[in-house]
Amino acid sequence: MKRAKRWLLAAALCGLSLLTAAPVVAQASVVANQGLIRTSATDVLPGQSVGDIIVVGHDLTIAGAADHVLVVNGNVDLLPTAHVDTVIDLGGEVRTLPGATVHKLLHATLGNPFWSGAIVASLGALVAWMGLLVAGVILTALLTVIAAALRESIAVPLAELEKSARRAGLSGVFVTLAVLALSGLLAATLVGIPVAVACLALYAIGATVGLSVVSVWLGRMIVGRDRAQEVWKAALAGVSFMVAFSSIPIIGQILFLVLWLAGVGVTAEWLWRWRHRRKADRAPT
């Protein structure tokens, strides 16, 4: 019973295909495909016409007609009856037999030093750009959230930063040099390595908190204090400017380093004043 159903279904499909293909049979059996994507060895037979075809990781043999062909990590064989507008082959070989017609051909193989360097450089630039984009999004969200969480107590370090940004930057330089020197001494011994890692982690956390204060300070300077009354809006504006400007080669990295050191200095001064205030509160009257 199941076999009978299968035969009936196959016969119906064959009949339907014959009905729909009837006008085409009269034209030398030309089959038109608007676009094909293949992940296996592919042949375009004589009399067959395809629009655009992409083959990844396998070879492509063309004896018919095609518009645009892209083969990645595979070979392209163009037989004498082939008619192709554009052929792009990345990482393989293109073999063209006499009689084949190709209007445009681009062949990039990893064996060619120029194309190898160009492909590696392009992929490296793309990966670096994507990494910077992801890092910028994460930094924007992180600093904005930190600034919003500290909105009640951020006024004190923000006032110190507005009073003297240069002093905050110098404090950040001294603290950074001290942390690096201390971490280097601790890392010289096996027992001191975890302590050095903990010092660097605390330094990074303090710098991130200080950078959120710096972003609020930048946002209020860019947007204006009246327009950025809410802390998170000022932080969002400031960190957006910071991330956008940091994408500029060399100059952007120098600016980010300066802002980072200012953030370290702001956090250091904030903790220093908090410690003195606690001492004053504990002192007997």
The whole-number pLDDT of residue 5 equals 40
Query: What is the pLDDT, as a whole number, of residue 18?
Result: 40
pLDDT digits (tens, 9 = 90+) for 71-123: 887 889 999 999 999 998 887 888 889 989 888 888 766 665 666 666 667 77
pLDDT of 212 reads 92
Q: Where are the domains of the chain?
A: 26-109, 122-282
Measured at the CA of 217, the angle between CA 215 and CA 220, to 5 degrees, comes to: 105
pLDDT at position 34: 45
- Mean pLDDT rounded to a whole number for the chain: 80
- Which segments of the chain have a pLDDT < 70? 1-36, 108-120, 225-229, 283-285
Alpha carbon distance 40, 54 (integer Å) = 10
Give the pLDDT confidence score for residue 230 in this predicted structure.
82
pTM as predicted:
0.56
C-alpha gyration radius of the chain: 33
